[in-house]
Structure 1
Amino acid sequence: LVCAVKYAEAFDKDRGKVSLLNLHFFAGYSIERVFYLALGGIAISSMAALKENAYIIMALIALFLFLFFIREGWYRGLIDRLKRPDREFIVPILEGLFLVLVVLVVFSLFYTGNLLDISGMKAAVEKALSHWYEMHRIERMGGPYFFYLARIALYELPVLVFGVLGMFYYGFCDRKKEKLLAVLLSYWVVVDIMYLIAQSYPGAGKFLPTTYVQSSILIFLPLLVLGIFGVVYIKNRFIAFLVFWALSNFFIYSYVQEKVPWLVLNPLLPLVLIAAAYLGELLPGLNLRSRKGAAVVIFLLISSSFMVHSSLLLNYENYTDPAEPMIQASQPPQKFSEVLTKISEVTSQYRNQSTEIQITDVNLETPFLWYGRHYSNIKWRVDLDAEFNAPLIVVHDSEETVTEADVMQRNLGSDYIRLDSAKMSWYWFQLSDITPEYILWRKMNRPPDEYRFVLFYKPVTK
């Protein structure tokens, strides 16, 4: 985006100002444009190689550029210009081809090591898209349609409220706002009625779109439409882009069943900028003595205080607590550190990092491959019927009546001490969890689900 802005600035410069001391221009052409095109192409290729959602970003940017092309009316007279092209028409086309060439070359180098390997690039794109499709299909990290909406409301409440108000403020005049709000509310009422009918009368639900269309599409489709119309009708180009970017990202990620907390940043960032711009125009002209002015200030203070409170809870108190929705479930709970401390303590009594460690649970390879990277004598995937005599033994635990850990404890005898732990913990949130205690302090009335394991260790007795 920075490269696009700098390219636009260079595009608008006076190309007639040529100076021997100023190499920005050559024969009336800004060399800066080539530099920013090349840098932008490298950035796009790097994004494709480094960011998991790069293809979604590129698709949305392409859609925005297409809508912007329509908004600016650049299609008018296009056929005539193709028949009689001039310099102002040819140069941007050549620049576009140059940008595509840079993207392809750098992308090919990243994925194949060759300068321009078309088949290798095609295979890389197909694998990336098929991975996203498969993760969406199996719902590897699925979640409800309000997954990101709930997190924005919980952690960024003033941004959500003033961001939405800002979209209405910049996007539509007063009369259109009322009509739009009425249409949106009517649509959502109809959708809600369809869901109630489908739940109450399953037979009738077969004839309703709620049975066949994913809920995120059915509920949030008007937001995508608003984002598209915003590009065409909002006068301020930057605000038009922010509205489109916020609503389109929110729609896409609410639909994709690969929901992780950090992807909330995609719709949140433009929403922050819209809220800031709207407050910047609202507050200076606000009459604090009026009811409206007092209500705005009071809400802003309360919601901002709640936002700071939520941030402090997340970052300094509950940073390993899965009750915080922004905590990813794959993060080990706090008690996992006790296992690492005990391993370090016991190995220091034997052969330090050469001490033998036996691990039976194959699902523990992910954390222990990293945390045990300095230990050279780890035995992986040890069969339960094998001989266990290592100073440290790691076994899977479960909720069954008799677990692998219980059997291991009986076989090992009294020489070993048992330490229960878990590699990850999580909550499947329910509507009943939404209580004042949870909203304010993240207090849950039930323990989290866990993937548990047991460490058996044999300390050296003196």
Structure 2
Amino acid sequence: MSGIKAAGFAIRIQNFLSFERLFFCFIILAAILRFAFLDLKLFHHDEAIHAWFSYKLLTTGVYLYDPSFHGPLLYYVTSGMFSAFGDSDLVGRIIPALLGTLIVVLLYPLYRLGYLDQRQTLVAALFLAISPNMVYFSRFLRNDIFILFLTFVLLLSLILYLERGQMQYAALAAVATGLGLSCKENMPIVLGIFGAYLIYLVWSGKVTLPRRWIRDLALGALITIGIVAVMYSSFGVHPERLITFIPDAFLHWWDMHEQQRLGGPFFFYILLFLLYEVPIFLLAIAGTVQFIQHGRHKQSRETAKRTMHEIVGIALEQIRGHLPEAPRSFDKKEEFFRFCIVWWLLSIVAYAYIGEKVPWLLIHQLLPTVLVATYAMTRKKAIIAVLSSIFLVFALWHVAYVPADVNEPIVQVQNSEDLREVMALIDASESVAVASDRYWPLPWYYRGDRSENLNYFGKRIDEGNFAGDAYDLVITSDEDSYASLPGFEKRQYNLNYWFSWYDNKDRIAQYYFFRDGKMGNMKLEVFVRNATV
């Protein structure tokens, strides 16, 4: 009797944990991890610049494209958020967090279209929800999560267009393309990979373009060009930028590639995969091997079948010439994983070649990695995936939810938590002198009326300027400071910090296990007026 009750209970649990409920739980998990304590850490150096330009756009209406700071989409979107909800760190990160959550949601239409089964969809949703890099850069005001979301939208739009041939999906693909090109200069990498594979599919006869594809292509081109023109001309305010933005972007980023300002070895991103995403990376390798083996076995079976029917085939050859050609056999699910493998490998190659090595570029390689990792997702592999995700949770917690300066390569020029004490000193001062060119993120945190007591000199000035009681606080950098200032107490704080490949390349294995690598940083020297003076 107890056995029957246990079996009934197990069935009720199984029915309750349906695919849809589990998938919804992973969406909720993704949302919680992205939105919880969203302003826990200070803005990163780049985040502060992006937020500042968005604030200036809101308050002055001025924006002009500069390739050093990527495309205009982020600034217009963030400026709109500031207008609606106020300008703050939390508000600035809401759209990245939302897009990071929606990337998980977009797995569902991929499942409904038949490209993923239920087990694959759930594992992919789990990985995307708790991936340390996906979560970290979904809580981060940079362009990359915008690009990744638009990449997924473009993929789904192209699939729907090829399957249904409806113009609306071509238009949606064009919108995703236009917004992506208006976001960051690496969108052409995505377009190149997707476009090359589409040409292969058409050339090999695996897909046939819709009957009115030329009309749809023309419409899509007009939509894409229109979006790009509106964005890069600052909604028509700077039409001259339409002539210069492409060569300016190419020359700037080619120069960064040549300089290798933030350089690293060609296997830089492989190291990041092994540091933060090792279960996903290893399962992707396993999935690729399985796909190749499956292809070989399938080819062997087809060869044997052709041999068995060779005589019949020869006899029917002449008849076939009088019949309509049969459509080529096409397993869309297998072809999708072939595409994902190509997408993954070409992305790794492209970013390995690019000289600028920064951690946020990993997520452009991570999305196809997750999809490849779900190939042939048997029950046994699913259990392994779920158990190994514990590794992801620990890594995620350390890099995203520890309110301290963490010694991690995922962090690149992050503003130090020491700045909270510096800003407390600024708040307590009536007049502050910033005698250095190292002062970000102060313009963001002291904007509008809050900037009235700050005086930016941009460099070290004669110490005689600090005689008397003109300033309560003097901020300089450790590279160009004063030995002392009469009447002031000298203190030192970290401004920002980073993990450098060049400082740690001889002890990578040791760092992997102990996380004790050498950190680079910039320091502020802060002179606080003595209370007795």
Normalised to the residue count of structure 1, the TM-score between the two structures is 0.65
> What displacement does 1:119 show?
7.6
Q: Secondary structure at the match of 2:261?
A: coil
> What displacement does 1:132 show?
1.6
Match of 1:391 in 2: 472
* Match 2:489 to one of 390, 413, 417: 417
| Conservation of the 8 A alpha-carbon contact between 1:162 and 1:278 | no
| Conservation of the 8 A alpha-carbon contact between 2:280 and 2:369 | yes
| Conservation of the 8 A alpha-carbon contact between 1:394 and 1:453 | yes
Indicate whether 1:361 and 2:436 are aligned.
Answer: yes
Match of 2:499 in 1: 427
> What displacement does 1:143 show?
1.2
Distance 1:268-1:137 versus aligned 2 partners, 3 A rule: same
> What displacement does 1:451 show?
1.4
Q: Which amino acid aligns with 2:445?
A: Y
Q: Which amino acid aligns with 2:434?
A: I
> What displacement does 1:114 show?
7.2
Match of 1:405 in 2: 482
Q: Which amino acid aligns with 2:475?
A: V
Q: Which amino acid aligns with 1:361?
A: S
* Match 2:367 to one of 269, 281, 289: 269
Distance 1:237-1:52 versus aligned 2 partners, 3 A rule: same
Q: Secondary structure at the match of 1:95?
A: helix
Match of 1:334 in 2: 417
Indicate whether 1:371 and 2:479 are aligned.
Answer: no
Match of 1:216 in 2: none
Structure 2 residue ranges without an equivalent (≥5): 1-151, 299-329
Q: How far apart, CA to CA, are the structure 2 residues paired with 1:423 and 1:54?
A: 32
> What displacement does 1:441 show?
4.6
| Conservation of the 8 A alpha-carbon contact between 1:360 and 1:383 | yes
Q: Secondary structure at the match of 2:410?
A: coil
Distance 1:395-1:3 versus aligned 2 partners, 3 A rule: closer
> What displacement does 1:442 show?
1.5
Structure 1 residue ranges without an equivalent (≥5): 14-29, 79-87, 178-231, 285-295, 348-354
Q: Deviations over 1:213-253 (max 9, x none)?
A: xxxxxxxxxxxxxxxxxxx9997121122111111111111
Match of 2:512 in 1: 439
Q: How far apart, CA to CA, are the structure 2 residues paired with 1:153 and 1:368?
A: 35
Q: Deviations over 1:419-442 (max 9, x none)?
A: 201222233342443355x33452
> What displacement does 1:109 show?
1.4
Q: Secondary structure at the match of 2:424?
A: helix
Distance 1:130-1:172 versus aligned 2 partners, 3 A rule: farther
> What displacement does 1:66 show?
2.1
Q: Deviations over 1:348-379 (max 9, x none)?
A: xxxxxxx32111111x1332222232221322
- Pairing of 1:56-75 with structure 2 (within 5 A): 56-72=189-205
Distance 1:132-1:280 versus aligned 2 partners, 3 A rule: farther
Q: Secondary structure at the match of 2:461?
A: coil
Normalised to the residue count of structure 2, the TM-score between the two structures is 0.57
- Pairing of 1:274-353 with structure 2 (within 5 A): 274-280=372-378, 283=381, 303-317=388-402, 320-321=405-406, 323-328=407-412, 330-344=413-427, 346-347=428-429
> What displacement does 1:97 show?
0.9
Q: Secondary structure at the match of 1:422?
A: strand
- Pairing of 1:39-438 with structure 2 (within 5 A): 39-72=172-205, 89=211, 91-112=212-233, 120-173=241-294, 236-280=334-378, 283=381, 303-317=388-402, 320-321=405-406, 323-328=407-412, 330-344=413-427, 346-347=428-429, 355-362=430-437, 364-373=438-447, 374-381=450-457, 383-385=460-462, 386-388=464-466, 389-398=470-479, 404-406=481-483, 409=484, 412-413=485-486, 415-429=487-501, 430-435=504-509, 438=511
Distance 1:366-1:246 versus aligned 2 partners, 3 A rule: same
Q: Deviations over 1:384-435 (max 9, x none)?
A: 225114111112213xxxx6331xx1xx22x212220122223334244335
> What displacement does 1:174 show?
8.0
Q: Secondary structure at the match of 1:419?
A: strand
Higher RCO by CA contacts (8 Å cutoff, separation 6 or greater): 2
Q: Secondary structure at the match of 2:441?
A: helix
Q: Which amino acid aligns with 1:378?
A: L
Q: CA RMSD in A?
A: 3.3
Q: How far apart, CA to CA, are the structure 1 residues paired with 2:456 and 2:401?
A: 36
Match of 1:37 in 2: 170
> What displacement does 1:312 show?
2.0
Distance 1:319-1:132 versus aligned 2 partners, 3 A rule: farther
Q: How far apart, CA to CA, are the structure 1 residues paired with 2:190 and 2:405?
A: 30
Identity of aligned residues (%): 23
Q: Deviations over 1:132-184 (max 9, x none)?
A: 2111011121111121101111111111111011012113448699xxxxxxx
Distance 1:176-1:118 versus aligned 2 partners, 3 A rule: farther
Q: How far apart, CA to CA, are the structure 1 residues paired with 2:266 and 2:171?
A: 39
Q: Which has the larger radius of gyration?
A: 1
Distance 1:47-1:112 versus aligned 2 partners, 3 A rule: same
Q: Secondary structure at the match of 1:405?
A: coil
Distance 1:56-1:10 versus aligned 2 partners, 3 A rule: closer
| Conservation of the 8 A alpha-carbon contact between 2:262 and 2:358 | yes
Select between 371-380 and 93-102 the one with higher mean Cα deviation.
371-380
Select between 252-261 and 232-241 the one with higher mean Cα deviation.
232-241
